[in-house]
């Protein structure tokens, strides 16, 4: 009889049937299961994960904001130097052509147009190219210096020459050029003033190189910080 009882008990355990008197596990207790080689998460990791992620995101936002702020200030300064160059050019040509009319109109256009053209050109040719990663340091410096020359010297010079030349022709403040040689006459008349534009040319070229180097260095440092934090 004892042997029969043991065999019956073994058959019950093999079949997966729990005897009535066996202790039952409460339903509200969950037993975690882990696979082989899986590390058990600790309570400290669960508590620190969210603040660490938030801190990383805040650092990235701060770096990007700093890079953007420095870039905006540098570009505005670059545009301001072009505006001053336009004002200087307008003053030189007005003095040479002996023009006294439309003072506010000529100074407003010679200040605003070089300023806006420098900012727009720099954003399209340098800032957007840096953000897309399709520009090297040499190209960044080259583009920045060319923008300084074109928008800060050549464009204001041509604009001041044409505006004040028309005013001089309109109000007869200088002798009228002979027919067929208008452009050559104006160039010979203003050759001294055109040579004087070498000064803003050197200044704009120097500032363009400096701004290009600074902008690329800021962008590179921000990119490295972002990569290291990842």
Residues 139-168 have pLDDT tens digits of: 999 999 999 999 999 999 999 988 998 898
Pick the more confident residue, 107 or 180.
107
| 3-state percent breakdown (helix, strand, coil) of the chain, nearest 5 | 80, 0, 20
pLDDT computed for residue 132 by the predictor: 80
Angle (deg, nearest 10), helices 155-171 and 43-97: 30
Cite the beta strand spans of the chain per DSSP E: none
Higher pLDDT, 116 or 127: 116
Question: Above 80 in pLDDT, residue 38?
Answer: no
pLDDT band at 131 (very low <50, low <70, confident <90, very high): confident
Domain count, the chain: 1
In a domain, 92, yes or no: yes
pLDDT of residue 1: 42
The rounded percent of the chain whose pLDDT value lies above 70 is 67
Q: Is residue 79 one of the residues assigned to a domain?
A: yes
Residue 152 lies in a domain: yes
The pLDDT score that the predictor gives to residue 135 is 85
| pLDDT of 183 strictly over 50 | yes
Q: Which of 176, 187, 212, 180 is nearest to 77 (CA)?
A: 212
pLDDT at 13: 47
Task: Please state the pTM of the whole predicted model.
Answer: 0.68
- Answer with the residue of higher pLDDT: 36 or 121: 121
Residue 26 falls inside a structural domain: no
- In-domain check, residue 5: no
Whether the pLDDT of residue 29 is over 80: the answer is: no
- Of 102-116, 122-136, 179-193, minimum mean pLDDT range: 179-193
List the domain range (segments joined by +) for residue 84.
56-228
Angle at 133 between CA 127 and CA 134, to 5 degrees: 90
Tell me whether residue 201 is in a domain.
yes
Looking at per-residue confidence, does 24 or 69 come out higher?
69
pLDDT score of 134:
78
The answer as to whether 159 is a domain residue is: yes
> What is d(CA 32, CA 46) in angstroms, rounded to the nearest whole number?
16
Look at residue 71 and tell me whether its pLDDT is greater than 90: no
Residue 33 within any structural domain of the chain = no
């Amino acid at each position: 009889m004892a042997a029969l009882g043991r065999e019956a008990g073994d058959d019950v355990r093999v079949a997966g049937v729990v005897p009535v008197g066996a202790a039952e596990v409460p339903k509200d207790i969950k037993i975690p299961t882990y696979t082989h080689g899986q590390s058990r998460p600790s309570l400290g990791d669960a508590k620190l994960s969210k603040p660490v992620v938030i801190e990383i995101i805040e650092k990235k936002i701060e770096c990007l904001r700093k890079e953007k702020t420095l870039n905006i200030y540098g570009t505005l300064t670059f545009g301001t130097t072009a505006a001053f160059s336009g004002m200087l050019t307008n003053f030189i040509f007005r003095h040479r052509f002996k023009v006294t009319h439309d003072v506010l109109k000529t100074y407003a256009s010679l200040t605003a147009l070089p300023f806006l053209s420098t900012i727009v050109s720099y954003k399209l040719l340098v800032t957007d190219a840096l953000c897309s990663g399709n520009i090297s340091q040499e190209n960044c410096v080259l583009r920045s210096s060319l923008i300084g020359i074109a928008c800060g010297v050549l464009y204001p010079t041509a604009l001041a020459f044409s505006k004040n030349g028309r005013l001089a022709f309109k109000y007869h403040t200088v002798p009228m050029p002979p027919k067929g040689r208008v452009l050559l006459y104006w160039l010979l008349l203003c050759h001294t003033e055109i040579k004087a534009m070498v000064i803003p040319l050197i200044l704009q070229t120097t500032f363009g190189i400096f701004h290009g180097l600074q902008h690329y260095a800021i962008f590179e440092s921000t990119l490295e910080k972002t990569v290291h934090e990842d």
